[in-house]
Structure 1
Amino acid sequence: MMAGRTFGKKLAAGFGLTLLLTVVIAVTSVGALAYVVNSNNKVIATATDNLAGALRLQTTMEARISDYRAFLLNGQQQYLDLTNGDRTAFLSQVVGLRAQLTDQRARALLERVSTAEASHAALLTPVIERRKQIKFLTDIAQLNAKSVAPARQELQDSTAALVKRVGQIVDLDRAHASARATVAVIAIIVLGLLALGAGAWISWRLSRDLRREVGTAVGHIQSSSAQLEAAAAQQASGGRDQASAMSEITTTISELLITSRQIADSAQRVSKVAEETADAARSGDSTIDQTRTSITAIRTQVDQIVQHMLALGEKSQQIGGVVDLVSELAEQTNILAINATIEASGAGEWGRRFAVVAEEIRKLADRTAGSAKEIRALIEDVRGAVNTTVMATEIGAKAVDAGSRQFDDATNSFRRIAQLVTTTSDATREIELSTKQQTTAVEQVNVAASDTARVTRETEASAVQTKQTAAHLSTLSGDLLDLVGSGKH
């Protein structure tokens, strides 16, 4: 199998290499053709534009000379306008052609044309002005324009030289394009020859590897056939032993099936007891919650009692302050009554009446002071009782808090019990489910064991057939080796 896969990889590699060379040749051919086409297009476009520009420049120059001569003959303004228009077009064409030309010699010739045109135009200007003054054709001889002819000849010669140079450039570009096309064709031919050589080498290499690998594979097949024949004999012997072992396994599985069913019944009973325990724990948890609610209400009432007692203590203190004020007023009233009695004793008959009133006021002040002392004593008793009640209430509140914490602990304990019972119940259900699944699995294993015993018998029969097939395979491998020739080197 390894030899077949190796040859398959080599075949794929050879095909891939051949395909790669084909793609390279195709890409190179397309690139070369595109390069040649672009070069030719560039030569045709650029060179043609430059040559056409040079020819247009020459044509415009000749048209200007013709229009100038017509103006000299008839003196009409339209020919002068045509002459000026031709010069404007000529200058515009010079600017455009200067931007297109890249050859230095051609640019120098263009500058020569521009200089010659400027000199020619400078000589034409005074001649044109004198022609405007001449009314009769017989007076044209007075223009004396002999100096214009050399300038015109220089302009025509420089323009002709420029056209000739641009034509030479076009011929050179065409020659270069043809050379590039020739190089591209040679490159395509060389690549094609390389591809043919590579294909031939790959075919020879694959053929050699095929003979070698097939010969090696045939040797392995012959060796494997002998081993397969021996293994088939051992398999037939082992099949009989396996059939007797499967009979014992079937008996053991039947006993395991009975045990699994008993475990499932026990797990179901444990699950039922766990559910009852969980219900009892949840009921105890509910009772403790109700008791906690009652304790919370008692704590709230005790807190209210403490607040009322504290308020009562504050009121008794306020009353004590009022009693102190009353006692102080009684003492001052008593002092004033004594002073009034002393003053009344020196006032005669009128003073005695006032003394009686002062005495009554003093007695009232004494009774008021006595009542204030009694009220103060009662207030002190009330304060003592309030303090005692507050202390007792605080002790009761602490006892209520301790009881609440104990109930919290008991509640947590019941909840943990409920959780543990729930966990136990879940585990019991899982055990029950697992046991049922195990019972089902055991039944399936029992069926599989029966099938395995049947397959074992069939394997024993097929082992004999395998032995015969191995012998036939050894014969076929010899025929294959003869077919491919000497494959071992």
Structure 2
Amino acid sequence: MAKRTFGNKLWLGFGVTVALTLIMGTASVTALTVVVHAKDDAINLAVNDLVSAEHLTTEAESRISDYRGFLFYDTEDYLDATNSDRDEFLKIVNQLRSTLTDSTAQSLLSTVTTTEAKHAEAISAVIALRQQTTDLGPIRKASNETVTPLRKALQTAIKDLTTRVRADVVTARTSATDRANQAIVLIILLALLATAFAAGVAWRLSRDLRREVGAAVGHIQSSSAELEAAAAQQASGGRDQASAMNEITTTISELLITSRQIADSAQRVSKIAEETSEAARNGDATIEQTRASISAIRSQVDQIVQHMLALGEKSQQIGGVVDLVSELAEQTNILAINATIEASGAGEWGRRFAVVAEEIRKLADRTAGSAKEIRALIDDVRGAVNTTVMATEIGAKSVDAGSRQFDEATGSFRRIAHLVATTNDATREIELSTAQQSTAVEQVNVAAGDTARVTRETEASAVQTKQTAAHLSNLSGDLLELVGTGRR
């Protein structure tokens, strides 16, 4: 039985129970058949033999009545009735002789037959005497002497026969009752046996069911508890990660705003550098005109002074923009460092973001370096402007001295043009770097959004898993109660 499955055990127990039920049903039918036959025999004996035996008494009394009527009235009707009563009596005797099975009853029936024959002879003699005379005295005397003793003897014989038949009926009824009791006892024993076996099979199957299902449900409960704990931990981690990703997204948004501000500042610096380059080209044209006509040095010197003053103002403007670029570069560097710290706190999800934040920090460092170079170039521009202004003032005082120093002014102006070209290249590089930085930040923002979405989906899945594990634990507890283990 240990190697059989629970379904095989159930079918085996069901088969044996059905077999016992069939045996009990067959035995019950057989016993009931025997009881029915016994009762039928008893009923037949009571209905046929006993009634016939009692009918003998009735016929005998009826014959006596008709016989007495004939004695009083001497009519053929009473005589025919007397003969008819005797024929019916003999018919009942013959019927009893064929149905009685008890030897004592047969002997008593023979006694009844003999006595009745004697009684009939006596009646016939009295009837013959009545037919010969009308005097009732001798007839009454002959009847009292011969017929009456035989009548009493016949009644006694019939009574003995009836008593014996009644005793046979009681015996048959007792025998039938005994058989019925035996059948009832047999049916009860078979029912008790089937009930005991069914109870044993049910107890065995219930025990196996509780043991096997209880063990399986115990494993399910353990697994569901572990799954619920893991889901709770995963949900908690998902909430923490979602919070970190929200902070990262906020930082990236601020970094994107800063990078856009840097791009706008770089565009303004580039525009100013183009204007400065245009001014430098105009100054170069002025120098060429000065070379063509030394006589117009005074006017050209005035123009140079004006251009140098404008150049100084624009240099100051460039310096302000460079200060703004330096400040933005420092803020970008700080934001990149904060982003790196937040990414390291985010774990595996922030590793890619940490790489992008490092590239942003490098771009910020390059921007700060370019801003420092621009600052140095602007300082050189300012120094060159001051030198040019001093040179033009000296040229205004003395054309001759200005003429001698014209070559120096030409060299200084060429250095200014070179510095302006360098400044224009630096501003274009800053603009390109800020554009790349903006693109990179936007990509990081998109990646952070996807990561936050995946984190929310992970948290929702973890919550669903936790609910499923709790539901599975409740179902396993209900199953344990259903199989009757009594524990959760």
Higher relative contact order (CA 8 A, sep 6+): 1
Bigger radius of gyration among the two = 2
**Would you call these one fold, judging by a TM-score over 0.5?**
no
What is the TM-score when the length of structure 1 is the normalising length? Answer: 0.41
